[in-house]
Amino acid sequence: MGDFTIKLSAKLVNRLAEDGEKLKKKTKKTKAKTSREPQQPQTKINQKRVLDDSKMLKGTAAPGWALQPPSFLSVTPTAHSAELNAIQSVVQESERVLEKLNKKEENTVQEVTERAKSLRDREFKLPYQKPLPCLAEKDACEACYKEFVKDPLKCLHLLRSYADCSRRARQQVSSAS
């Protein structure tokens, strides 16, 4: 067999270098979204690339370019898997830290809410107030007067019970002091 050389154009080398940089920049595992229907614009671009590549392989490429593998191809598959494993371990550790932070945030939110409730209860709690004496008798008198607007004497017995109740309440206050 005879020796042969393959000449590559600058365009092909640049495109291979750009593809290599894109591969290095990808750190996440992402699944490509595939559609069942072929897309016309991509097909035309792919056909153009195939034509350009085939022209270069036939010897129409720029003279003086010898076949040399790009620098991104010189890395062994084990180095890629080691990088991938390192990235995966960092991602897993980040997920664990995020989970711990979320739990701590939930606990802190609950604790702050409980403290805020207790402070609000202590601050805005009204002191014990004694109920108004004779409130039931007073309400009964008012209701009776509203019912018998034209004949208020029908409420006389309720008025007397209200007066008696208020007299007893005054006596209790005066005897307590």
Per-domain residue ranges of the chain: 1-21+43-74, 75-125, 135-176
For residue 60, name the pLDDT band (cuts at 50, 70, 90).
very low
Give pLDDT, residue 108: 95
What is the rounded CA–CA span in Å between residue 164 and residue 177? 21
Q: What percent of the chain has pLDDT over 70?
A: 62
Question: Which tens digits make up the pLDDT trace of 130-168?
Answer: 788 999 999 999 999 999 999 999 999 999 999 999 999
Give pLDDT, residue 130: 79
Tokens 């207790």 found at = 118
- Please check the confidence at residue 104 and state whether its pLDDT lies above 60: yes
